Structure 1
């Protein structure tokens, strides 16, 4: 089971779109895919047609269980979507209280890792959509993944958010004593603007080979797919945005093969 965490400490950079787009493409490959929504805003949950306030179980139950998390609870919290091979563990607003309620308890940084270990034979890929806030949710998501995917909007202010994200990643790596490979994904690229090109050049200049050598363009089909609550690859398989995510997925799978 391969786990990818999609994270950035700046909002609006395309984290949920990246999660859904890659998940849809993987599911079409016949991979068994689990998407985990750890954002209290529950955008990923709503994307797949679930109302977070009407759910019996959610990822909040997993964190509430703490060290007692087990396979039975994980499976209770996972919902099948209407798309083949694609399941979701939904979020609720209660996640916003997690740090205040449980953040000081020992061992809370590895809850998700324990939970995923209990269902590792059920899925080929897990993608975790993370809120743009450093806390127990982000710590868990970074601790349990094989690779961190960092979408970065190609505009200058987004570079500041990336700097924060990289400091967080390095801090967690130091505390855990283990490397966490990462891939920076340029998103919302607008070839008509000089700002997008200059930001891309700055990304490559600063982070080198850690930056994917493609970019995800601005594509209105992403918004249309979201409105239809359908993965972009199923809604508009030939759109330029989907073709870009196909190239990204090939790159990521090659990295996993080493």
Structure 2
């Protein structure tokens, strides 16, 4: 089972769109895929029309199960999607309380990793959507994976936010026993604007081969897909945005 985490300490850069689109593309290729929503705002959950406040289980149960944590904790909370092999582990607003209630407890940073290990025979891929805040949830998501995708909007303020994320990854790298890979993914690229071009060039100059050699363009079809509560590869498979994500998937699967 491969685990990818989609993270950035800035909101609005395309984390949820990246998670949904890559997950759906993998499911269309025949893989069993689980999407994990670790953001208390639950954007990923709402994308699929799931209101976890009305469900009996969510990813919150993983963090609060304690010694009762089992594969059923995860599997019983899963929600189906419009793709047969794509499943969602939804978020709940209660996640926002974890830093205060459990953040200082020993071992809290590895709970998600332990939970996913319990179901590794059930899935080929797990994609984790992170909140834009460094805390227990992001630490768990980063510690659980071997591949990190960092979507970055191609505009000046987003690049400034990326600096914070890179510092976080350096800290995590120092605490990890094993190595993990990360890829910076330029998103919302508008080739008509000078600002987008300059931002992309600065990304390449600063981070070199850590930046994916491509861009995710601005695509209004993504907005239409989210309003239809349908992953873009299902809603608009030939759109330029989906085609760009197909190229990204090919590059990170190599």
Say yes or no: does 1:61 pair with 2:66: no
1:148 counterpart residue number: 148
Query: What stretches of structure 2 of length at least 5 have no aligned partner?
Result: none
C-alpha separation in 1, matches of 2:176 and 2:126: 21
Query: What stretches of structure 1 of length at least 5 have no aligned partner?
Result: none
2:158 counterpart residue number: 158
Distance 1:12-1:67 versus aligned 2 partners, 3 A rule = farther
2:108 counterpart residue number: 108
Which secondary structure state, in structure 2, belongs to the residue aligned with residue 151 of structure 1? strand
Could you tell me whether the CA contact under 8 Å between 2:47 and 2:230 is conserved in 1?
yes
Moved over 4 A (4+): none
Could you tell me whether the CA contact under 8 Å between 1:67 and 1:108 is conserved in 2?
no
1:216 counterpart residue number: 216
C-alpha separation in 2, matches of 1:25 and 1:86: 10
Distance 1:106-1:68 versus aligned 2 partners, 3 A rule = farther
Structure 1 residue 68 displacement after superposition? 4.1
Could you tell me whether the CA contact under 8 Å between 2:5 and 2:145 is conserved in 1?
yes
Structure 1 residue 85 displacement after superposition? 0.6
Q: Which shifted more, 74-83 or 57-66?
A: 74-83
Structure 1 residue 168 displacement after superposition? 0.5
Distance 1:194-1:79 versus aligned 2 partners, 3 A rule = same
C-alpha separation in 2, matches of 1:77 and 1:99: 22
Which secondary structure state, in structure 2, belongs to the residue aligned with residue 77 of structure 1? coil
C-alpha separation in 2, matches of 1:80 and 1:212: 31
- Number of positions where the alignment pairs a residue of Structure 1 with one of Structure 2: 254
Q: With structure 2 as the length reference, what TM-score do the two structures score? A: 0.98
Could you tell me whether the CA contact under 8 Å between 1:37 and 1:45 is conserved in 2?
yes
